[in-house]
Amino acid sequence: MATIVVAEDERDLNNLVRRHLEDEGHRVVQAFDGPSAVLAVGQERPDLLILDWMLPRLDGLEVCRRVRRDSIVPILMLTARSEEVDRVLGLEVGADDYLTKPFSIRELLARVRAMLRRVELLRVARPVEGDPPILVDGPLRIDVGQHLVSLDGRPLELTPKEFDLLALLVRNPGRAFSRDYLVETVWGYEYGGFDRTVDTHVLRLRKKLGPIGERIETVWSIGYRFARARDPA
Ligand code: CA
């Protein structure tokens, strides 16, 4: 069960969405204009925000911008505009996904399920509050907050996805992750690429990491794991 803020000024649509989300067992908080959407997110700390683009007093884009100042809540934007420029603009201010109006309720619920599932995965993958934001394993040092990795004090240049992948593996030493899990967690459920992507990134990581890269082990027919440090002989 999740708490979901639904920000949509068309009351019939808002109520319809609410009813279906409640049927799925979620708790729904309704907002009918921009400022109350921002307020609801601040007060309720929801697991998901469903946000209409066209809202009175503050439009969805501005709501998105304000919410993103201090919240990483996933945002599903509803929009009647399907132009590419709008999608790009929305993604820039921090929306996570889109649904173009008109949409079917079934489509909305599927999207909500997928987004909540991803939140659940990230909860496993990301440090809980209070965890040290710096992971150290031998010569390897990962500063999660600063997105910096160094090896023997020498900074390593990693792409954002390489970084996320490495941080996830190192944070969970010894645990094997399937390719599907890694794709879904690091790239997101919306990623439509091939699972070779994970393999390619692991290859590049191993190369960049040198000897310690060998600890990213292939787990046959599953995926990968970061081997625990061996006790010094
Ligand atoms: Ca509207």
Q: In this predicted structure, what is the pLDDT of residue 68?
A: 83
Is pLDDT of 232 > 60? no
Q: Which CATH number fits the domain that encloses residue 143?
A: 1.10.10.10
Is pLDDT of 124 > 60? no
Choice among 75-89, 132-146, 192-206 with the minimum mean pLDDT? 75-89
Q: In this predicted structure, what is the pLDDT of residue 233?
A: 43
Q: Is residue 59 part of a domain?
A: yes
The CA distance from 204 to 151, in Å, is: 15
In the chain, the N- to C-terminal Cα span, in Å, equals: 49
- Asked whether 181 and 223 are in contact (CB, 8 A), the reply is yes
Residues 115 and 18 in one domain: yes
Task: Look at residues 125, 157, 178 and tell me which one is the last residue of a structural domain.
Answer: 125
Confidence of residue 72 (pLDDT cuts 50, 70, 90): confident
The edge-to-edge listing of strands for the beta sheet with 154-156 is 134-137, 140-143, 148-151, 154-156
Choice among 101-110, 127-136, 140-149, 218-227 with the minimum mean pLDDT? 127-136
Residue with tokens 């987004």: 115
Residues 91 and 138 in one domain: no
| Rg of the chain on CA atoms, in Å | 20
Q: Is residue 39 part of a domain?
A: yes
Q: Is residue 164 part of a domain?
A: yes
The CA distance from 183 to 146, in Å, is: 23
Is the model more confident about 97 or about 142?
Answer: 142
What is the CA(25)–ligand 1 centre distance, in A?
A: 25
Kindly give the pairing relationship between strand 27-31 and strand 3-7: parallel
Q: How many domains, in total, are found in the chain?
A: 2
Residues 22 and 104 in one domain: yes
What is the CA(59)–ligand 1 centre distance, in A?
A: 9
Q: Is residue 233 part of a domain?
A: no
pLDDT digits (tens, 9 = 90+) for 12-68: 999 999 999 999 999 999 999 999 999 999 999 999 999 999 999 999 989 998 998
What is the CA(219)–ligand 1 centre distance, in A?
A: 49
Residue with tokens 């150290």: 136
Q: Which CATH number fits the domain that encloses residue 27?
A: 3.40.50.2300
Q: In this predicted structure, what is the pLDDT of residue 129?
A: 57
Residues 180 and 111 in one domain: no
Confidence of residue 71 (pLDDT cuts 50, 70, 90): confident
- Domain span at residue 148 reads 134-226
Q: Is residue 232 part of a domain?
A: no
Task: Look at residues 125, 145, 162 and tell me which one is the last residue of a structural domain.
Answer: 125
Q: In this predicted structure, what is the pLDDT of residue 57?
A: 95
Residues 44 and 79 in one domain: yes
Q: In this predicted structure, what is the pLDDT of residue 193?
A: 57
Residues 164 and 78 in one domain: no
Residues 80 and 141 in one domain: no
Task: Look at residues 75, 102, 125 and tell me which one is the last residue of a structural domain.
Answer: 125
Residues 28 and 66 in one domain: yes
What is the CA(82)–ligand 1 centre distance, in A?
A: 15
What is the CA(9)–ligand 1 centre distance, in A?
A: 5
Q: Is residue 96 part of a domain?
A: yes
Residues 77 and 155 in one domain: no
Is the model more confident about 207 or about 120?
Answer: 207
Confidence of residue 229 (pLDDT cuts 50, 70, 90): confident
Q: Is residue 202 part of a domain?
A: yes
Q: In this predicted structure, what is the pLDDT of residue 119?
A: 72
pLDDT digits (tens, 9 = 90+) for 166-214: 999 998 888 888 888 888 788 775 555 555 788 889 999 999 999 899 9
What is the CA(117)–ligand 1 centre distance, in A?
A: 27
Q: Is residue 65 part of a domain?
A: yes
Taking CB atoms within 8 Å and a gap of at least 24, the contacts of 137-144 are 137/170, 137/173, 137/212, 137/229, 138/212, 138/229, 139/212, 140/170, 140/209, 140/212, 142/166, 142/167, 142/170
Is pLDDT of 98 > 90? no
Choice among 24-28, 71-75, 127-131 with the minimum mean pLDDT? 127-131
Q: In this predicted structure, what is the pLDDT of residue 3?
A: 94
Residues 80 and 146 in one domain: no
Q: Which residues contact 63 (CB under 8 A, 6 or more apart)?
A: 7, 34, 37, 38, 51, 55
Residues 116 and 8 in one domain: yes
pLDDT digits (tens, 9 = 90+) for 144-167: 877 889 998 899 998 888 998 999
What is the CA(192)–ligand 1 centre distance, in A?
A: 30
Residues 7 and 106 in one domain: yes
What is the CA(4)–ligand 1 centre distance, in A?
A: 17
